[in-house]
């Protein structure tokens, strides 16, 4: 297998930094396009070898038949093999792949710049392919590339320029990518992706430890948007969102959470509790928060969870305690 596309994007970002260039939105968008065009060119070459006598292999056949059906199977197989060779799952959405390529490129650039650790860096990234599988979108790009090659011949314009024009078209989705360093953030080292101001995705640099865990603890945005997706699991705020809002001590996304089974979530004190302010238990949590004592408020809920479920969520509790320790340090500086 060749170097994975994401690792290559990271290395290319680092090289871009070493050359002393300034990273702009146009450069990011251009890099995304060039990556996908390179994949398309390799597929076109492989298809040409596999189907040497087919003039327009990507066009729909005029009539059905075994030969035309087999042609489609061959092309699909070549596309999937090339994507896998680049470390890309053919079933992933085109948007996911484009986003990850651009994020990797930006990370490579930032991590090889002499930048302060106490701030964040914001970039705009563009998504063209949408939610369709990357394999289907690549097929569409190949068809577009095939048609543009005929136009290129008649207009003496390189065919890749036609695809670059397609990618630079304003008809695309734009996202806000905010990169923070480990020292700058209260929790983990991540990049937050927002659209219209709403968080839609959070990425970590190192998934090797967190990625295989079933339950996990930390900030809400970390548990909600990164922890491995599982049916029948939900994110439980150890401090109810209502109390966070009332005190203003943290927003919902920074609230300490653990991932627990849905049936257990329903047994927690705060679950769909509209009258929690009448409960002395939550009054105690509120008093702790007014004193900026997040740790005590969290430990109160942890004790209740362990009383109900024993050691079942100890791994998640251990991790959320690590997160709370960081919060506690921040609030007591």
Q: Per residue in 256-297, pLDDT tens?
A: 999 889 999 999 999 988 888 899 999 999 999 998 899 999
Interval 40-60 mean pLDDT: 79
**CA-based radius of gyration for the chain:** 25
Please identify which residue in the block is written with the tokens 């705060």.
270
C-alpha closest to that of 33 among 121, 96, 126, 119 = 126
pLDDT at 127: 84
Asked whether residue 184 carries a pLDDT value surpassing 60, the answer given is no
Q: How confident is the model at residue 161 (pLDDT cuts 50, 70, 90)?
A: low
Asked whether residue 188 carries a pLDDT value surpassing 50, the answer given is no
Residue-averaged pLDDT of the chain: 78
Helices (H), the chain: 5-18, 25-50, 66-85, 94-110, 134-155, 159-168, 220-225, 241-247, 262-265, 280-290, 294-309, 314-331
Asked whether residue 215 carries a pLDDT value surpassing 50, the answer given is no
Interval 34-45 mean pLDDT: 89
Interval 72-99 mean pLDDT: 86
pLDDT at 152: 52
Residue 21 gets which letter from DSSP? P
- Measured between its terminal Cα atoms, the distance across the chain in Å is 49
Task: Estimate the crossing angle of helix 134-155 against helix 94-110, to 10 degrees.
Answer: 80
């Amino acid at each position: 297998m060749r170097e994975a596309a994401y690792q290559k994007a990271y290395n290319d970002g680092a090289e871009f930094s070493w050359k002393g260039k300034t990273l702009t939105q146009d450069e990011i968008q251009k890099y995304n396009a060039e990556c996908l065009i390179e994949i398309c060119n390799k597929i076109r070459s492989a298809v040409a070898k596999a189907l040497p006598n087919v003039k327009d292999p990507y066009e729909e056949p005029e009539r059905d038949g075994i030969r035309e059906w087999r042609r489609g199977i061959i092309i699909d197989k070549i596309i999937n093999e090339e994507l896998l060779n680049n470390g890309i799952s053919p079933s992933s959405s085109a948007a996911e792949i484009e986003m990850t390529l651009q994020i990797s490129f930006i990370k490579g650039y930032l991590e090889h710049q002499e930048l302060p650790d106490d701030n964040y860096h914001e970039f705009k990234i563009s998504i063209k392919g949408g939610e369709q599988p990357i394999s289907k979108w690549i097929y569409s790009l190949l068809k577009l590339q095939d048609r543009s090659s005929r136009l290129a011949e008649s207009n003496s314009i390189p065919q890749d320029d036609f695809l670059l024009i397609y990618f630079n078209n304003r008809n695309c989705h734009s996202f806000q990518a905010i990169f923070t360093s480990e020292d700058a953030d209260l929790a983990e080292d991540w990049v937050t992706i927002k659209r219209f101001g709403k968080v839609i995705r959070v990425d970590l640099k190192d998934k090797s430890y967190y990625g295989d865990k079933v339950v996990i603890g930390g900030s809400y945005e970390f548990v909600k948007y990164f922890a491995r997706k599982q049916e029948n699991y939900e994110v439980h705020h150890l401090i109810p969102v209502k109390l966070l809002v009332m005190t203003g001590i943290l927003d919902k996304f920074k609230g300490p959470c653990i991932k627990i089974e849905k049936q257990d979530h329903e047994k927690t004190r705060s679950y769909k509790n509209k009258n929690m302010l009448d409960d002395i238990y939550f009054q105690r949590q509120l008093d702790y928060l007014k004193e900026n004592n997040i740790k005590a408020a969290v430990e109160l809920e942890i004790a209740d969870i362990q009383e109900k479920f024993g050691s079942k969520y100890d791994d998640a509790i251990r991790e959320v305690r690590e997160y709370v320790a960081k919060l506690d340090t921040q609030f007591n500086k």
